[in-house]
Amino acid sequence: MLSRLRQSHHGNEHPIVAKTPRKWRHAMHVALIVVAIGFAQLGYSAEQFQPPLNIPSPDGRYVVGAKLANPETAGSGGPEYELFLTDRAAGVERILDRFIRGADVLWSSDGRQVAVTFWASSNESYVAIYWVKPTFDVLRIGDGGGGRQIATDLASLPEVSGNDHVYFQALAWQGSAALRVKVFGHGDRDPQGFAKCFDLPLGPGASRRVPCPPGRDVQ
């Protein structure tokens, strides 16, 4: 399934794309939100932007979506979008974060958590895990922002400390107690690039190294 929301300005299209790979379609809800970086000299109007992309949880109670927050201004690197969470039962919307470049959204199969990979820049990405029930909480991997840091042992990897392009990417839920994450990148230490994958427990316990699935890295 592939759906697109596009904003067009002077012939330049900036897509937000949601995609569920065929092999995961019956196991989990996965969506890819990609916002193409525009040019600083172009202006964008909120009125031109189409309705937000909505990605429901498996049980249908919650929706994660993206909507335009600020049109592009000089030096910003692109339009800024808000990632939001809506509780359909309570009728409450919560802003999770803002992003410019793009974000991957990955619901757990029981709808209790949603992992979001934020592609923050060409040099880095990080993962935020939003625990939506029974109470709201935020866990983070590879980022110093708000929320509790988990998998801090990954920050001590030589590949993470020795390269200036390092990306953390959520790949798949392992039940609701662990998340499979890929760490990859390149730089002075690994000019040809590196990639390692781990199963990260959300509670106590150490990260466990696992084989990485085949496929091209997303940057």
- Residue by residue, DSSP assigns the chain as -EEEEEEEETTEEEEEEEE--GGGTTT--EEEEE-----TT----GGGSPPPEEEE-TTSSEEEEEEEEE---TTS-S-EEEEEEEETTTTEEEEEEEESSEEEEEE-TTSSEEEEEE--SSSEEEEEEEE-SSS-EEEEES--SSSEE--GGGGG-HHHHS-SEEEEEEEEEETTTEEEEEEEEESSS-TT-EEEEEEEESSSS--EEEPPPSSPPP-
Mean pLDDT of the chain: 74
Number of structural domains (the chain) is 1
pLDDT of residue 169: 93
CA distances from 64 to 30, 70, 84, 89 (A): 11, 19, 6, 14
pLDDT of residue 50: 46
* Residue 216, domain member (yes or no): no
**Tens of pLDDT along 27-68?**
333 344 443 332 222 222 333 344 457 899 999 999 999 888
How far apart are alpha carbons 51 and 140 in whole angstroms? Answer: 29
Q: Is the pLDDT of residue 218 over 80?
A: no
Give Cβ neighbours of residue 191 (< 8 Å, ≥ 6 apart).
none
* Residue 209, domain member (yes or no): no
- Domain membership of residue 95 as a residue range: 2-107
Least Cα distance to 31 among 3, 9, 70 occurs for: 3
* Residue 213, domain member (yes or no): no
Give the alpha-carbon dihedral of 95, 99, 102, 108, to 10 degrees. -30
* Residue 149, domain member (yes or no): no
Q: Which residue has the higher pLDDT, 188 or 18?
A: 188
Are 115 and 171 in contact by the 8 Å Cβ rule? The answer is no
Least confident of 37-46, 141-150, 188-197: 37-46
Q: What is the mean pLDDT of residues 122-139?
A: 89
Are 38 and 46 in contact by the 8 Å Cβ rule? The answer is no
Q: Is the pLDDT of residue 110 over 60?
A: yes
* Residue 190, domain member (yes or no): no
